[in-house]
Amino acid sequence: MKILVCIKQVPDLESRFKIAASGTWYAAEDLAWRLNEYDEYAVEEAVRLREASGEGELVVLSLGPERAGEAIRKALAMGADRGVHLLDPLSHDKDPRQIAGAIAEYARGEKFDVIFTGLQSQDRGSAQVGLLLAGLLALPAVTTIVAFSHEAGLVTVRRELEGGARAVVKVRLPALFTCQLGLNTPRYPTLPNIMKAKKKEVRTIAVTDLPQVAALVRTEKLAFPDKRGAGVVLEGATSEVADRLIAILKEKTTVLK
């Protein structure tokens, strides 16, 4: 079985963001970077399928700047066989259709049986790239999966719905799946596997060498949301702060007896 998992490197969301000089994206300086959380589940599910099927290969792909290579190495340490880095220093300016278009240009000739992506990225959250990629490759796709099982080319998944209900869905391979949080328990790469991952092949392809896809959306502005304003901010784990909080709760709510 030939498996592709598409991943993205995103900033740690606990970071303190600053708006870049362009005014359309966050400044990349002083941020800690990590593998997009949804993609951790996608990589884990891909590795499990790879291990269960025994033969074939698992390719991990990321489109992004130089540093996205770190996310590829992490996926390789989790168990992917080889990496593909679609190098694009300007990926933050690309819209979902451009990103899916570039990935499709690479993936079209590879004839993958299964493709996993995260449901969405934590920074953009468009939830489009996986489905657009499936559409461009003419593959069936199922989104927001929280359970996956495979037997002889037939896949059964559970889609998570609002309120926690699930839909049980069947589809034949080849197909693409977008992974929701909680799909599995992503493994931590072990030190020997981190060392092994350093020797695995990563092929770099400049997106400028692929056919270009026109943008459909323009980002006009990135900004901080307006604070609701009414909230009181108290700082510090101190006795005084606890007293003030209790005083506020006594005044503003009826629940403190």
Partner 1 sequence: MKVLLVGEYRDGKILPSTYETVAFARKLGAAAALFLVADPSDLPRFAGKLYLAAAQQCGEYNPEGHLALLLQAVQAEEPDFIVFLHSAYGWDLAPRLALALDLPQISEVVALAEGAFVVPACNGKLRRTLRPLGQRAVLTLQSGAFNADGEPAGTPQVAPLTWAGSAVVELVGYEAASRGAVDLSRAEIIVSAGRGIGKPENLALIEGLATVLGGEVGASRPVVDAGWAPHERQVGSTGQTVAPKLYIACGISGAVQHLAGMKKSGFVVAINTDGDAPIGEVADVLVVADLKQFVPLLTGKLGGV
Residue 138, by phi and psi: left (phi above 0), alpha (psi -120 to 50) or beta?
Answer: left
Closer to partner 1 by Cβ: residue 195 or 256 = 256
# residues contacting partner 1 (CB under 8 A): 82
Cα 205-209-210 angle, rounded to 5 deg? 90
Q: Tokens standing for 124?
A: 């953009």
Q: Which residue has the tokens 């992503």?
A: 186
Q: Is the peptide bond before 174 cis (omega within 30 degrees of 0)?
A: yes
Closer to partner 1 by Cβ: residue 111 or 253 = 253
**Which one of residues 29, 168, 192, 211 is an interface residue with partner 1 (CB under 8 A)?**
168
Query: Which positions from 97 to 116 touch partner 1 by CB under 8 A, shown as an x/- string?
Result: x-------------------
**In this structure, are strands 175-179 and 57-64 parallel, antiparallel, or unpaired?**
unpaired
Using the contact rule CB under 8 A, the part of the chain among 7-15, 65-73, 81-89, 197-205 near partner 1 is 7-15
Name every residue whose Cβ is closer than 8 Å to that of residue 194 and which is 6 or more positions away in sequence.
Answer: 73, 77
Give, in order, the Cα–Cα distances in Å from 144 to each of 103, 118, 141, 182: 20, 8, 10, 10
Closer to partner 1 by Cβ: residue 71 or 76 = 71
Closer to partner 1 by Cβ: residue 173 or 202 = 173
Using the contact rule CB under 8 A, the part of the chain among 59-67, 73-81, 197-205, 238-246 near partner 1 is 238-246
Site for partner 1 in 51-70 (CB under 8 A): none
The verdict on 171 binding partner 1 (CB under 8 A) reads yes
Site for partner 1 in 204-233 (CB under 8 A): 215-225, 227-228, 230-233
The verdict on 252 binding partner 1 (CB under 8 A) reads yes
The verdict on 254 binding partner 1 (CB under 8 A) reads yes
Side chain identity at 147, as an amino acid letter? A
